[in-house]
Amino acid sequence: MSRALNESDRTTGSPILRIQDLHTEFVTEYGVVKAVNGVSFEVAAGETLGIVGESGSGKTVTMLSVMRLIESPPGRIASGEVHFNGDNLLELSNREMRQIRGSKIAMIFQDPLTSLNPVFSIGEQLTEAIKMHLRVSNKEAREHAVEALAQVGIPDPVQALDFFPHQFSGGMRQRAMIAMAISCNPSLLIADEPTTALDVTVQEQLLQLVDDLRSQLNMSIVWITHDLGVIAGLADRVVVMYAGEIVESGPTDMIFENSRHPYTQGLLRSIPRLDVPRDKRLIPIEGTPPDLIHMTPGCQFASRCRYRLEQCEEHPPLVELDTEHASRCWVNPEATIVSDYA
Amino acid sequence: MSDETLILKVENLQVHFPITRGIVLQRQVGSVKAVDGIGFSIHRGETLGLVGESGSGKTTTGLAIAQLVKSTGGQVWFEGRLLEGLDQSERRALYQHMQMIFQDPYASLNPRMTIGNVIADPLRVHSEMGSHALKDRVRELLENVRLDPALVNRYPHQLSGGQRQRVGVARSLALGPSFIICDEPVSALDVSVQAQILNLLEDLQRELNLTYLFISHDLAVVRHISNRVAVMYLGKIVELTDSDQLYAEPRHPYTQALLAAVHTPNPRVERQRQRVVLSGDLPSPANPPVGCNFCTRCPVAVDICFEVKPDLHESSAGHWVACHLVEQEYAGLRSQDEEVIDIG
């Protein structure tokens, strides 16, 4: 029996992060870009949540909103609540938020070359964060930094402190960024496409590192990516986003083996994959993603959907289909992807 | 080049970029060995995939074949003709038959030209077509790539990434080439659009009898579209065989690591996957190892690997591998077969 989700359904143990009806938009000369349109989800303690979506899905803006890193203007968090550790982050002062950002919640980004300051050494950037949050002496901060670099597998960590970002390879830079993120022992790590720009063998090194760290430090992780393969191996639960909304969410196995939303199914059918015969034709999702400035009413995916009905002109709510598995669709078709190719 | 079915043959191709020092008096102090002696052939109508990570030399290989980068050694034969010392008119003639599609659909189209003009450009340069004929040909090309002909007067920034890439494909088809080098044509596109472009490339290959060199870092994509695959590492080919064989039975330790790093959107498969995590980083192409280029990171390297560079050997029919250990293993197997035959 399916029912629409609301506040009182959340009876499971207290989550570490709870986002409620978040709306974020950007005011531009072309109009207002509605980047995030009513997103709600939770992250449990110790779990890895995957957020999957393509460009324009709103996945990055959602987590930047959580961190209050949305540049305003032109962006603004129009409404919603973000509960972390007993506080609504959207109501904290800048000073209070600075104490949380980088220490209790840390974020790593896709391109470490742009998120590390090129004119400061790795050591200076690491110790800056440590001194700010942990109130220790310079000497202690340096020791702490060496430990963090060793923990992420950077060889000769004492020497590495004095290196500049450009002296590292892409994989090493990403490790340095992870070191900065974990240096203050955060309870939540947000990773925004951290391996997308890296070679696959380097990605493999980083994924193993993050896996080790997760169990050592008992962190929750939110991993944002467009790469379904990485998510399948990494996440406990998955949230699929499209046009600023969640269109499907649930445990990883359910999403991949029993997905009910046409967009998720479309994605799974359209990517070349090693577990399917190589000569089977790919089944693409026709059309293009919607314009986030001029949004049409109704389901945002309808114009590209093979199951489209007249009812889809009315915006579908996110509905729980079975335990923890929700989908935003009037049809919720059943489809087993791999057998489509058989 | 004796074989009539070969459209391209590359032999011992070398692209070394000089490293110079000094401002007024420049002297060469070393070189970046981007492509360091590779060879392969492509048959008419097939797709050869060229796969590798950054620093492998795969893109430089494509550029060298297209004569967009000067090679410092080796030979390239195209349609039976050696490409060497071509003057401008010979290069022009070449581009009627050989074309290239690039990775970045934003950077590879001139933002100040309408897409009609972008596609007509090669025709204006290489032919004497009148404006009516040009318009017809552009319309035909837009239809070939399944784009609405009404887009002819739009500018690139008004199109989506997928549409721009279709324009890039249309432009490459304008002169009616037989061979197209595709350099990461779908890497910059959203996942849901990649399949559209891959299907388009496959359809066009059939409809227009095209041959492709498909360069990519994405192993799943390469497997899907290629008949045969060559794996590159630090300027060398380490393995070359047909697609099914490469993915079913990778023999070079680097290929095995590369394949082990490919994720499948299937949680059960992912949980059972054997992980192979390589240690260390890619060596500098200005200073590659003395022995096998992969020896510094290879999980099974032995003494000879650090001393002698392995050649590409045919370990079994059509399956070429550059690895001392693989060569020893398969030489042993081959001599066993020979013994059996002798006894019979």
> Looking at the domain assignment, is residue A296 inside a domain?
yes
> Looking at the domain assignment, is residue A109 inside a domain?
no
Share of chain A above pLDDT 90, in %: 68
Arithmetic mean of pLDDT, A100-117: 88
**Listed range (A5-19, A134-148, B253-267) with the worst mean pLDDT:** A5-19
Q: Quick one: DSSP state of residue A116? A: S
The residue of chain A nearest to residue B278, with distances taken between CA atoms, is A201
Q: Which of B220, B259, B282 sits opposite A273 (nearest CB)?
A: B220
Is B267's CB within 8 Å of A232's CB? yes
The two three-digit tokens of residue B84, written as one number = 């060497």
Arithmetic mean of pLDDT, A28-55: 94
Predicted pLDDT of residue A10: 36
The two three-digit tokens of residue A341, written as one number = 């190719």
Contact list, A253 vs chain B (CB under 8 Å): 267-268
- Domain extent, residue A256, equals 15-104+186-341
> Looking at the domain assignment, is residue A96 inside a domain?
yes
* Global confidence as pTM: 0.89
For the stretch B114-137, pLDDT in tens is 999 999 999 998 888 899 999 999
Arithmetic mean of pLDDT, A127-155: 91
Is A281's CB within 8 Å of B196's CB? no
For the stretch B307-333, pLDDT in tens is 999 999 999 999 999 999 999 888 777
Closest approach of chain B CAs to the CA of A333, in angstroms? 19
* Contact yes or no for B309/B295 (Cβ under 8 A): no
Rounded-to-integer distance, Cα B281 and Cα B287, Å: 13
Closest approach of chain A CAs to the CA of B18, in angstroms? 21
Tell me: pLDDT of A4 over 80: no
Tell me: pLDDT of A11 over 50: no
Tell me: pLDDT of B1 over 50: no
Rounded-to-integer distance, Cα B52 and Cα B237, Å: 9
Tell me: pLDDT of A43 over 90: yes
Q: Which of B218, B261, B269 sits opposite A201 (nearest CB)?
A: B261
To test the contact with chain B by mutation, choose from A60, A163, A278 the residue with the greatest count of B C-beta atoms within 10 A, namely A278
**Listed range (A178-187, A234-243, B60-69) with the worst mean pLDDT:** A178-187
Arithmetic mean of pLDDT, A129-133: 88
Say which CATH number the domain at A232 has.
Answer: 3.40.50.300
Predicted pLDDT of residue B233: 97
Is A256's CB within 8 Å of B266's CB? yes
Predicted pLDDT of residue B226: 97
CA angle at A112 for the pair B62 and A221, rounded to the nearest 5°: 115
List Cβ neighbours of A248 (8 Å cut-off, separation of 6 or more).
Answer: A238, A239, A240, A255, A259, A260, A261, A263, A264, A326, A327, A328
Cβ under 8 Å to A: B residues 99-158: none
**Residue B273 sits at the chain A interface (C-beta within 8 Å):** yes
For the stretch B170-229, pLDDT in tens is 999 999 999 999 999 998 888 888 999 999 999 999 999 999 999 999 999 999 999 999
Closest approach of chain B CAs to the CA of A143, in angstroms? 24
> Looking at the domain assignment, is residue A165 inside a domain?
no
> Looking at the domain assignment, is residue A316 inside a domain?
yes
Tell me: pLDDT of B248 over 70: yes
Arithmetic mean of pLDDT, B275-279: 86
ipTM value for the complex: 0.84
- Cα torsion A113, A114, A120, A123 to 10°: value is -60
- Cα torsion B64, B67, B73, B75 to 10°: value is 100
Contact list, A233 vs chain B (CB under 8 Å): 263, 267, 270-271, 273
Predicted pLDDT of residue B181: 97
Is B191's CB within 8 Å of A228's CB? yes
Predicted pLDDT of residue B335: 66
Arithmetic mean of pLDDT, B224-245: 96
Q: How many residues in total does chain B contain? A: 344
Tell me: pLDDT of A332 over 60: yes
Is A282's CB within 8 Å of B224's CB? yes
Closest approach of chain B CAs to the CA of A73, in angstroms? 25
Predicted pLDDT of residue B280: 81
Contact list, B200 vs chain A (CB under 8 Å): none
CATH code, residues B6-97+177-343 = 3.40.50.300
Is B266's CB within 8 Å of A289's CB? no
More confident residue, B240 or B187: B240
Helices A200-217, A170-182: axis angle to 10 degrees equals 10
Average pLDDT of chain B is 91
> Looking at the domain assignment, is residue A227 inside a domain?
yes
Beta strands in chain A (DSSP E): 3-4, 17-28, 31-43, 48-52, 75-84, 87-88, 105-108, 188-192, 220-225, 237-242, 245-251, 319-322, 325-327
The residue of chain B nearest to residue A171, with distances taken between CA atoms, is B281
Predicted pLDDT of residue B16: 95
Predicted pLDDT of residue B33: 94
Cβ under 8 Å to A: B residues 280-319: 281-282
> Looking at the domain assignment, is residue A37 inside a domain?
yes
Domain count, chain A: 1
Rounded-to-integer distance, Cα A331 and Cα A333, Å: 6
Tell me: pLDDT of B336 over 80: no
**Residue B258 sits at the chain A interface (C-beta within 8 Å):** yes
Is B264's CB within 8 Å of A274's CB? yes
CB pairs under 8 A between A and B: 130
Arithmetic mean of pLDDT, A8-37: 84
Beta strands in A1-104 (DSSP E): 3-4, 17-28, 31-43, 48-52, 75-84, 87-88
Closest approach of chain B CAs to the CA of A135, in angstroms? 35
* Contact yes or no for A328/A290 (Cβ under 8 A): no
Closest approach of chain A CAs to the CA of B19, in angstroms? 18
Tell me: pLDDT of A336 over 80: no
Share of chain A above pLDDT 70, in %: 94
Q: Where are the alpha helices (DSSP H) in A67-155?
A: 94-100, 112-115, 122-134, 138-151
For the stretch B90-110, pLDDT in tens is 998 999 999 999 988 888 899
The whole-angstrom distance between residue A248's C-alpha and the CA centroid of its chain comes to 15
Tell me: pLDDT of A9 over 60: no
For the stretch B25-60, pLDDT in tens is 888 888 999 999 999 999 999 999 999 998 899 999
Predicted pLDDT of residue A163: 93
- At residue B238, φ and ψ (nearest 5 deg) are -100, -25
Q: Which of A201, A273, A281 sits opposite B264 (nearest CB)?
A: A273
Is B247's CB within 8 Å of A278's CB? yes
Residue A6 pLDDT class (50, 70, 90 cuts):
very low
Handedness of CA B107, B108, B110, B115 (dihedral sign): negative
Predicted pLDDT of residue A232: 95
Q: Which of B160, B199, B219 sits opposite A288 (nearest CB)?
A: B160
